[in-house]
Chain A
Amino acid sequence: MNRAALGALLSHWRRRPLQLVALVLGLMLATALWSGVQAINAEARRAYDRAASLLGGTELARLARPDNAPVPLADYVALRRAGYLVSPVIEAELDGMTLLGLDPLTAPPGVLPADLVEGAVDFEGFAGDGTLFVSPETAEQGLSAPLPTAISRDLPPGTILADIGRVAALSGQQDPSYLLVAPVQPPGLPPLSGATALELRAPDAATDLGELTGAFHLNLTAFGLLSFGVGLFIAHGAIGLAVEQRRPVIRTLRAIGLPLRRLILLLAVELLAIALAAGLAGVAIGYAIAAALLPGVAGTLRGLYGAPVGGELGFDPAWAALAVLIALAGAAVAGAGALIRVARMPVLAPALPRAWAMNHSTLLRRQGLAAIALFALAGILTTGAQSLVIAFAALAALLFGAALALPLVLTAALRAAAPLARGAYGEWVLADTRQQVPGLSLALMALLLALSANIGVSTMVGSFRDTFTGWLDRRLVAEVYVRADGDPAALATRIAPLADAVLPVSSVDRPLLGAPGSVMGQADDPAYRETWPLLSAEPGAWDSLHAGEALFVNEQLALGADLSLGDTVEIAPGTALPVAAIYADYGNPEGQALLGADRFARVFPEAEPFGFALRTGDTPALLDALRAIGLPDDAVTDRDSQKRLSLRIFDQTFRVTGALSALTLAVAGVALLIGSATLAGMRLPQVAPLWALGQTRARLARTEFARALALAALTFAAALPTGLAFAWLLLNRINTEAFGWRLPMILFPRDWLTLGLLAALAAGLAGLGPALRLARIPPARLLQVFSNER
């Protein structure tokens, strides 16, 4: 009996393959984008965990010199001989990567990568053979010098670990860069802070990459969920319709004695099988999407946050299993309503597919109320929004409120257009379009979500890019930049005769107001005074800066620490200066303070310039001259190259966002296509009387096509304000929380036009098929409508 009943139920899909395609596509796309985003996030999180577990992660305090110069070896030995449990680290550079030298004999527990300690990697090699331990990614790249290496899976990319003796020999540095402090010191010793002139730096929660990049991943997750939602809209529509259209079959099966419970079970098994297949396909597509996007994401994370994420995607069976489960859960959500309806259906109820599609007036009212509630929620969250999660919740409320309101808006718009209709045919078209809104509403909602997200994201990215480009022009003051390797003073002497002005650029990394940051020293040059991107400044700010009486802070520091002009910032023990100006510093995840060069040299006498900014009237000549005195190519860059590079990094940063929003739009397009194709088949009874009254099939087809375009246009019109509100939230709430800077909102009507055309194209494609079929339908089929019992 099971087989016969199942066969009867499944025969529906043979007759309506498009519905099956819709269902599978919906679930597949939902799973694919969601699982793709999850795969990217998981890969990044693994990289962060590796980075965080390095050197005991954020658990261990450090001892360092205030100017970050190496700690004299004798100071280290003196601390050990006084009984303190501190462990030396020499940090050097190799092939552009961080080379960390650890002392396994004194390292506190948890400092060495877990796989070294657990013996998966030969420990003997650590201290004995001078083996360099590298991440799998680095091992694949290889090192420039033929040094013995071994792989440690717990190391982040870009970090090389070796015994301190080995690193001392490779780098020529004997003094530790800093000391790690064991969390528990032996009892009976005076406090460590009083025992040394070194600076005791508390474990730094703010360097937690997970926290720093949280915004970025939340952003991706939000997109993943949005796509998942869009996919479920499609699946929900397909399942609901399939159940309705199978009422005659269900009725017959029940009438010949199939128990209800068995019927529900069979329908559930059918759905499960479809969801499983769609889920597996979705996982495969999701993996492909993630693998394609990951290099860009890794570049973004490296560029924006310095997070060491490799570009290779691992395959995690747990992830795949979870993704399939999500697909099944999605199918359950999408199908539960339909199954409940079957369970409650009277045995002999007639099939009413149109009625199902149209009997939505109660639902419409409920949706309207829900939309109002969601808008209100979005408003409340926005006014109070102080955290990223709240900001994203406001975004979600806004989007889904708009989606739920869409059918109401469309119906209202069509009603309002009623007086414009000329003639009976026009009135019929408007009325009939209104009747179609419920049937298409799920697909149109999906389109609205995708369009709004697209408008919002492109407005945000565009505003950011414009602001960033302008900022680059002002920030890159000098024509040529030279990196100082080795002896900066000697370099300055050599390049001084070549340029109009040589402006040293100095910087020291040091915590500012409790968070990681840096202090920069700036020479006094008219160009800086003219162009430096100040957001706000006190009168005479530049004079007080160079008189050493004040400092400037970047916007990140000002927003993060709630600083206003006139507040003081301590940049070194005993040196606190008032803030005279706040400047824009896009792309820097950390706080920064700017000091006049003289004051900088007094506060940080050990810090040497890391580079020079050169002014010149003839950039090519200067570049040639610098090359002629033997400076390596990679140590010299000119303003234009620097700008190009910065913009390239910028574009790469937002490529993922762009790709995801395009994919979501594509999903919505598919939803629309399937929605209208499904509806078209059921609309013959509406169209046939008009044909009988004398309308030509061609005119009816043109009307169908125009109607598809009109609905898309109305949806786009609704998406525009939603998208702009979305962009406003991104720029003013999410950006400030995630990056620490505010951006002006710039509108890009040309982008809207492109998007509107795209929406029209999608709708046109969706409407074309049904319209063509209508134009070519044999009159006999139209006549059949009248001969049928309906």
Chain B
Amino acid sequence: MNARVLLLALLLPSAALAQGFAGLGTDAEGYALPDPDHRFDFPEDHGPHPDFRIEWWYLTAVLDGDDGATYGVQWTLFRAALSPEEATGWGAEQIWMGHAGLTTPDGHFTAERLARGGIGQAGATADPFEAWIDDWAMTGRGGTPDALDAIRLTARGMEFAYDFSAEATGPIVAHGANGYSVKSQDGQASHYYSQPFYEMAGTLTLPAGEVAVTGTGWLDREWSSQPLGPDQTGWDWFSLGFDDGSRMMAFRLRSDTGRDYTTGTWIDADGSAETIPAGALTLAPGRTARVAGRDIPVEWTVTLPARGLDLAVTAMTDDAWMDTSFPYWEGPVTVTGSHEGRGFLEMTGY
């Protein structure tokens, strides 16, 4: 998954809390830098990488309820280091942030939690796998070849809660070159892998009551220390699942100098992946909707001529606004055109 919400802090210093994280700065001094020669080592790499500045565990899912409605769910745990030194107790300069989103056919719920590391209120462990903040958790259920093959996912906001189990039906996919995912022409990069093959089942608790749901989920793991170029102002990120079982991850990093950077990963139904070269893919915004005082493109045309791909991607609910410390749009989409399917869209910097 692309450089994400925490980076908004760097891009939008006017955001109220942004200054809280502005200690991040824009240089990577003292922090580890993504290494093209790194090869993922599981389960260790499921756990945190505190020597990197930022990191996340990011799960999105499109779910069908027993009430006939379609729901979109997001669960994210961010880690941000205020300094490259490690410490325990109150002195630990690691900040954790949880975001939970729930999109219904006619609305969107958001919840956010913040905590500092070092005291056990939030954190992540590789083996047994758990990533948590307060009572929100993504927990490995154990007994599987990979710790992420079977997980449980919980979160609770003021208006909603959810509790799911997720089982992977395919392998973990590394993006870019063996998980080294380049983010700009200037070479900014991150370590990035996904588990795009989750079958999900569980319960949503809504103000009106509980809804049993099933569907598909997509987990992203990414860490870096300086993943954005200074001219990059935001991004549009897609994770799409097609009816033939193939998947696609695609993103566009927008630049204020006009050098947009567009790339992605094509994933076959068996999990074999191929990087989509920069520029091969077109992501063109269409109709915009007025959301939270901004014009947000909620319809997109996605074309990839090399694979005969010509898609219309439409938000299921226009107002999937994450009203968090760093606000952004994130919600489920339907895919029509050359391929049919569903997926998730994230847009920042609008």
The reply to whether A123 and B116 contact each other, CB–CB distance below 8 Å, is: no
Report how far A27 CA is from B136 CA in the complex, Å: 68
Among A100-108, A316-324, A680-688, A735-743, the stretch that binds chain B is A100-108
Given A123-B20, A124-B22, A127-B20, CB of A105 within 8 Å of CB of B90: no
Among A182-190, A423-431, A650-658, the stretch that binds chain B is A182-190
The reply to whether A80 and B115 contact each other, CB–CB distance below 8 Å, is: yes
The reply to whether B116 and A188 contact each other, CB–CB distance below 8 Å, is: no
- B66 in the interface, Cβ–Cβ < 8 Å? no
The reply to whether A127 and B157 contact each other, CB–CB distance below 8 Å, is: no
- Expressed in whole angstroms, the minimum distance between the Cβ of A681 and any Cβ of chain B is 71
Q: How many residues of B contact A (CB 8 A)?
A: 27
Chain B residue numbers with a CB within 8 Å of A81 are 120-121, 132, 134-135
Given A127-B82, A128-B82, A184-B158, CB of A77 within 8 Å of CB of B119: yes
- Expressed in whole angstroms, the minimum distance between the Cβ of B235 and any Cβ of chain A is 25
The reply to whether B161 and A188 contact each other, CB–CB distance below 8 Å, is: yes
Interface centre among B114, B121, B157, by most chain A C-beta atoms within 10 angstroms, is: B121
- A83 in the interface, Cβ–Cβ < 8 Å? yes
- B306 in the interface, Cβ–Cβ < 8 Å? no
- A358 in the interface, Cβ–Cβ < 8 Å? no
The reply to whether B115 and A105 contact each other, CB–CB distance below 8 Å, is: yes
Chain A residue numbers with a CB within 8 Å of B116 are 103, 105, 165
Report how far A189 CA is from B24 CA in the complex, Å: 36
Report how far A124 CA is from B120 CA in the complex, Å: 23
Report how far A119 CA is from B23 CA in the complex, Å: 16
The reply to whether A168 and B20 contact each other, CB–CB distance below 8 Å, is: no
Report how far A174 CA is from B87 CA in the complex, Å: 14
- A468 in the interface, Cβ–Cβ < 8 Å? no
Q: Choose among A83, A106, A128, A165 the residue that contacts B114 (Cβ–Cβ < 8 A).
A: A106
Report how far A164 CA is from B89 CA in the complex, Å: 11
The reply to whether B120 and A77 contact each other, CB–CB distance below 8 Å, is: yes
Binary contact readout B86-105 vs A (1 if CB under 8 angstroms, 0 otherwise): 00011110010000000000
Chain B residue numbers with a CB within 8 Å of A73 are 119
- Expressed in whole angstroms, the minimum distance between the Cβ of B21 and any Cβ of chain A is 8
The reply to whether B157 and A168 contact each other, CB–CB distance below 8 Å, is: no
The reply to whether B19 and A119 contact each other, CB–CB distance below 8 Å, is: yes
Chain B residue numbers with a CB within 8 Å of A80 are 115, 121, 134-135
Given A105-B115, A123-B19, CB of A186 within 8 Å of CB of B91: no
Chain A 79-114 residues near chain B, CB threshold 8 A: 80-83, 103-106
**Smallest CB-CB separation from B205: which chain A residue?**
A188
Chain B residue numbers with a CB within 8 Å of A184 are 158
Chain B residue numbers with a CB within 8 Å of A716 are none
Report how far A105 CA is from B113 CA in the complex, Å: 8
**Smallest CB-CB separation from A123: which chain B residue?**
B19
- Expressed in whole angstroms, the minimum distance between the Cβ of B49 and any Cβ of chain A is 21
**Smallest CB-CB separation from A163: which chain B residue?**
B90
Chain A residue numbers with a CB within 8 Å of B156 are 83, 186, 188
The reply to whether A169 and B20 contact each other, CB–CB distance below 8 Å, is: no
The reply to whether B121 and A77 contact each other, CB–CB distance below 8 Å, is: yes
- Expressed in whole angstroms, the minimum distance between the Cβ of B324 and any Cβ of chain A is 13
Chain A residue numbers with a CB within 8 Å of B89 are 168, 174
Chain A residue numbers with a CB within 8 Å of B82 are 127-128
Main secondary structure on B side of the interface with A: mixed
- Expressed in whole angstroms, the minimum distance between the Cβ of B170 and any Cβ of chain A is 32
The reply to whether A104 and B20 contact each other, CB–CB distance below 8 Å, is: yes
- A612 in the interface, Cβ–Cβ < 8 Å? no
- B16 in the interface, Cβ–Cβ < 8 Å? yes
- A640 in the interface, Cβ–Cβ < 8 Å? no
Chain B residue numbers with a CB within 8 Å of A164 are 90
Report how far A117 CA is from B20 CA in the complex, Å: 11
Chain A residue numbers with a CB within 8 Å of B284 are none
Chain B residue numbers with a CB within 8 Å of A726 are none
Report how far A188 CA is from B17 CA in the complex, Å: 29
Chain A residue numbers with a CB within 8 Å of B20 are 104, 123-124, 126-128
Binary contact readout A110-138 vs B (1 if CB under 8 angstroms, 0 otherwise): 00000001010011101110000000000
Given A165-B91, A165-B116, A169-B91, CB of A82 within 8 Å of CB of B135: yes
Report how far A720 CA is from B31 CA in the complex, Å: 83
Report how far A122 CA is from B23 CA in the complex, Å: 12
Binary contact readout B128-139 vs A (1 if CB under 8 angstroms, 0 otherwise): 000010110000
Chain B residue numbers with a CB within 8 Å of A127 are 20, 82, 95
Q: Choose among B90, B119, B157 the residue that contacts A186 (Cβ–Cβ < 8 A).
A: B157
The reply to whether B90 and A165 contact each other, CB–CB distance below 8 Å, is: yes
Chain B residue numbers with a CB within 8 Å of A104 are 20
Chain B residue numbers with a CB within 8 Å of A169 are 90-91
Given A73-B119, A123-B19, A128-B23, CB of A105 within 8 Å of CB of B114: yes
Interface centre among B17, B20, B90, B120, by most chain A C-beta atoms within 10 angstroms, is: B90
Given A174-B90, A184-B158, CB of A83 within 8 Å of CB of B134: yes
The reply to whether B158 and A186 contact each other, CB–CB distance below 8 Å, is: yes
Chain B 237-272 residues near chain A, CB threshold 8 A: none
- Expressed in whole angstroms, the minimum distance between the Cβ of A163 and any Cβ of chain B is 8
**Smallest CB-CB separation from B207: which chain A residue?**
A187
Report how far A184 CA is from B120 CA in the complex, Å: 23
Binary contact readout B4-25 vs A (1 if CB under 8 angstroms, 0 otherwise): 0000000000001101101100
**Smallest CB-CB separation from A73: which chain B residue?**
B119
Chain A residue numbers with a CB within 8 Å of B157 are 186
The reply to whether B115 and A106 contact each other, CB–CB distance below 8 Å, is: yes
Report how far A646 CA is from B188 CA in the complex, Å: 69
**Smallest CB-CB separation from B82: which chain A residue?**
A128
Given A127-B82, A184-B158, CB of A168 within 8 Å of CB of B91: yes
- Expressed in whole angstroms, the minimum distance between the Cβ of A109 and any Cβ of chain B is 12
Chain A residue numbers with a CB within 8 Å of B19 are 119, 122-124
Report how far A124 CA is from B24 CA in the complex, Å: 11
Chain B residue numbers with a CB within 8 Å of A103 are 116
Report how far A103 CA is from B119 CA in the complex, Å: 12
The reply to whether B158 and A187 contact each other, CB–CB distance below 8 Å, is: yes
Report how far A727 CA is from B9 CA in the complex, Å: 65
Report how far A492 CA is from B270 CA in the complex, Å: 77
Report how far A80 CA is from B134 CA in the complex, Å: 5
Interface centre among A119, A123, A164, A165, by most chain B C-beta atoms within 10 angstroms, is: A165
**Smallest CB-CB separation from B132: which chain A residue?**
A81
Chain A residue numbers with a CB within 8 Å of B121 are 76-77, 80-81, 106
Chain A residue numbers with a CB within 8 Å of B23 are 124, 128
**Smallest CB-CB separation from B88: which chain A residue?**
A174
Chain A 297-334 residues near chain B, CB threshold 8 A: none
- Expressed in whole angstroms, the minimum distance between the Cβ of A396 and any Cβ of chain B is 50
- Expressed in whole angstroms, the minimum distance between the Cβ of A565 and any Cβ of chain B is 49
**Smallest CB-CB separation from B97: which chain A residue?**
A105
Chain B 256-306 residues near chain A, CB threshold 8 A: none
Chain B residue numbers with a CB within 8 Å of A187 are 158-159, 161
Report how far A186 CA is from B114 CA in the complex, Å: 15
- Expressed in whole angstroms, the minimum distance between the Cβ of A74 and any Cβ of chain B is 8
Chain A residue numbers with a CB within 8 Å of B120 are 74, 77, 81
- Expressed in whole angstroms, the minimum distance between the Cβ of B29 and any Cβ of chain A is 15
**Smallest CB-CB separation from A129: which chain B residue?**
B23
Report how far A775 CA is from B288 CA in the complex, Å: 100
**Smallest CB-CB separation from B92: which chain A residue?**
A165
**Smallest CB-CB separation from A104: which chain B residue?**
B20
Chain B 190-215 residues near chain A, CB threshold 8 A: 205
A-B contact pairs, 26 of them (CB 8 A): A73-B119, A74-B120, A76-B119, A77-B119, A77-B120, A80-B121, A81-B121, A81-B132, A82-B135, A83-B156, A104-B20, A119-B16, A122-B19, A123-B16, A123-B17, A124-B20, A127-B20, A127-B95, A164-B90, A165-B90, A169-B91, A184-B158, A186-B157, A186-B158, A186-B161, A187-B161
- 5 smallest beta-carbon distances between A and B, as pairs: A83-B135, A105-B114, A165-B90, A168-B90, A124-B19
Given A128-B23, A165-B116, A169-B91, list of 20 further CB < 8 A pairs?
A76-B121, A80-B115, A80-B135, A81-B120, A83-B134, A105-B95, A105-B115, A105-B116, A106-B114, A119-B16, A122-B19, A123-B19, A123-B20, A124-B19, A127-B82, A127-B95, A168-B90, A174-B90, A186-B158, A187-B161
